[in-house]
């Protein structure tokens, strides 16, 4: 069987370190790369044995070649998803599109219309649907073991160090150009709520804000960079956060992408800056309440101020309650009809609980014609519409 050929647009952590690696490991062939950073482009090209002739600093140069691969992965920055997506669809490419789909709600329909006119199809990287953990929850619902679903209580525990890495020091610290916190971090979770509820949303309310990571909360004597700071017990000290983790694993690989050392990154880059400089503007704690058209209600809490970096949830039905802890792969079902409690675990290992690998596997199967595309664009719109509505509600 001929290997599926894929071009990677955006060679950052998701494009270069996650999707390109998993695609190659699962038998696809990465044939072209696009990234504006020469060192990063060369680093990812070397992994896949690609010559400079198939590496481009911008997507216009790549698309000028016409259709030269079976599909493209678009993992560019948040505000650069729509334009290459439209160009890819115009050429008939199948697209694996990193979330968020876009930063303006009107652009959702632009992509949907372009897909309808194209032979290509868009699959959004809502990787959590592909995990064994959330598929097990879906199976409980489909089997009717909860009776009628009435409510969902869902928490995304971001973890204090993860929030500092991604949303204070990282690419998602300011919106715009990045997506708002609830869209960038929780469109996965909103997609799950929509999937479980089985109906479109009819009402969305939200509250939250930037509570802590502000200049007025800096401890006395704080420096503008962790390597020169003498505050003894700051939980957000970059030396502690990155020094406690393997150098070849995320998030450290974000700092060392392009060949610089961890020490260089902490001394000169954004990941060594004090979290209290005021360079971020996205919420650090937010709640979202959703009512769906079938009467199911859901609450989502997404917070920086947690120890665990995982999702926890309860599904409340007329005949039972299901509790879940994603990081541990634990599920607990209480059946009101017979008074029994079932406890079991599923494999939740790997990035995003195994969702990254599983999504790539499902997408490749769709490209080979073996199944439909996972998380199609038409099914991913409601998660984004909920996020846009939540942000409007939060800010009003």
The helix, strand and coil proportions of the chain, stated in percent and rounded to the nearest 5, come to: 40, 20, 40
Residue 63 has pLDDT above 80, yes or no: yes
Q: Which residues pair with 334 in a beta bridge?
A: 321, 341
Alpha-carbon distance 168 to 213, whole Å?
8
Alpha-carbon distance 161 to 306, whole Å?
9
CA distances from 325 to 293, 358, 368 (A): 27, 19, 34
pLDDT one-digit tens code per residue, 144-187: 999 999 999 999 999 999 999 999 999 999 998 889 999 999 99
Percent of the chain with pLDDT over 90: 92
User: What pLDDT does 378 receive?
Assistant: 84
pLDDT one-digit tens code per residue, 32-55: 999 999 999 999 999 999 999 999
User: What pLDDT does 72 receive?
Assistant: 98
Alpha-carbon distance 82 to 104, whole Å?
10
Alpha-carbon distance 80 to 58, whole Å?
11
pLDDT one-digit tens code per residue, 302-360: 999 999 999 999 999 999 999 999 999 999 999 999 999 999 999 999 889 999 999 99
Alpha-carbon distance 183 to 186, whole Å?
5
Which letter, b or e, does each residue of 175-188 get, where b requires 16 or more Cβ atoms within 10 Å of its Cβ?
A: beebbbbbbbbbbb
Contact 365, 350 (CB under 8 A): no
pLDDT one-digit tens code per residue, 228-252: 999 999 999 999 999 989 988 899 9
For 349, the token pair is: 């290992």
Alpha-carbon distance 378 to 146, whole Å?
28
Nearest alpha-carbon partner for 32 in 60, 67, 69, 2:
69
CB neighbour class for 339 (10 Å; exposed up to 12, middle 13-18, buried from 19): exposed
Classify residue 64 by its DSSP letter: T
Alpha-carbon distance 362 to 66, whole Å?
26
Pairing of strands 310-317, 320-325: antiparallel
Percent of the chain with pLDDT over 70: 100
**C-alpha dihedral, 234 to 279 to 100 to 8, nearest 10°:** -90
pLDDT band at 129 (very low <50, low <70, confident <90, very high): very high
Residue 258 has pLDDT above 80, yes or no: no
The SS3 assignment for 352 reads: helix
Alpha-carbon distance 80 to 98, whole Å?
11
What residues contact residue 138 under an 8 Å CB cut-off, 6+ apart? 195, 196
Instruction: Find out whether the peptide bond into 100 is cis, omega within 30 degrees of 0.
Output: yes
User: What pLDDT does 183 receive?
Assistant: 95
Nearest alpha-carbon partner for 333 in 349, 355, 348, 317:
317
What's the whole-number mean pLDDT along residues 271-292?
Answer: 98
Q: Which residues pair with 132 in a beta bridge?
A: none
Q: What are the φ and ψ backbone dihedral angles of 26, each rounded to 5 degrees?
A: -100, 15
The SS3 assignment for 8 reads: strand
Alpha-carbon distance 3 to 69, whole Å?
11
Alpha-carbon distance 272 to 335, whole Å?
50
Q: For the sheet containing 71-74, what is the strand order?
A: 55-56, 29-34, 5-9, 71-74, 94-97, 122-124
User: In what helix (H) or strand (E) does residue 46 lie, and over which residues does it extend?
Assistant: helix 38-48
User: What pLDDT does 155 receive?
Assistant: 98
Residue 1 has pLDDT above 80, yes or no: no
Alpha-carbon distance 165 to 238, whole Å?
9
For 282, the token pair is: 């996205």
């Amino acid at each position: 069987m001929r290997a599926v050929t894929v071009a990677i647009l955006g060679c950052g952590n998701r494009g270069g370190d996650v999707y390109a690696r998993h695609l190659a490991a699962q038998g696809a062939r990465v044939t072209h790369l696009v990234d504006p950073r020469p060192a990063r482009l060369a680093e990812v090209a070397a992994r896949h044995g690609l010559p400079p002739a198939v590496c481009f600093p911008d997507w216009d140069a790549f698309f000028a070649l016409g259709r030269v691969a079976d599909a493209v992965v678009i993992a560019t920055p948040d505000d650069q998803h729509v334009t290459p997506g439209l160009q890819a669809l115009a050429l008939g490419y199948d697209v694996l599109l990193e979330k968020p789909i876009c930063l303006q709600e009107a652009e959702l329909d632009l992509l949907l219309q372009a897909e309808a006119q194209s032979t290509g199809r868009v699959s959004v990287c809502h990787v959590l649907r592909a995990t064994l953990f959330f598929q097990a929850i879906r199976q409980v619902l489909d089997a009717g073991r909860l009776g009628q679903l009435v409510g969902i209580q869902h928490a995304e525990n971001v973890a204090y160090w993860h929030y500092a890495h991604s949303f204070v020091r990282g690419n998602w610290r300011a919106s715009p150009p990045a997506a708002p916190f609830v869209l960038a971090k929780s469109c996965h979770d909103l997609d799950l709520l929509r999937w479980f509820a089985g109906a479109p949303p009819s009402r969305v309310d939200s509250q939250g804000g930037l509570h802590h990571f502000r200049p007025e909360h800096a401890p006395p004597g704080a420096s503008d960079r962790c390597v020169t700071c003498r505050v003894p017990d700051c939980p957000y000290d970059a030396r502690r956060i990155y020094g406690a983790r393997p150098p070849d694993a995320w998030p450290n690989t974000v700092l060392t992408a392009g060949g610089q050392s961890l020490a260089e990154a902490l001394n000169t880059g954004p990941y060594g800056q004090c979290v209290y400089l005021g360079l971020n503007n996205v919420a650090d704690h937010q709640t979202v309440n959703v009512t769906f058209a079938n009467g199911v209600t859901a609450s989502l809490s997404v917070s920086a101020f947690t120890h665990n970096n995982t999702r926890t949830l309860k599904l409340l039905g007329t005949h039972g309650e299901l509790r879940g802890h994603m990081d541990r792969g634990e599920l607990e079902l209480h059946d009101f009809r017979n008074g029994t409690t079932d406890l079991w675990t599923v494999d939740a290992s790997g990035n995003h609980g195994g969702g990254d690998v599983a999504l790539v596997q499902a997408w490749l199967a769709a490209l080979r014609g073996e199944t439909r595309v996972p998380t199609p664009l038409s099914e991913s719109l409601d998660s984004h519409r909920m996020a846009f509505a939540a942000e409007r509600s939060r800010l009003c």
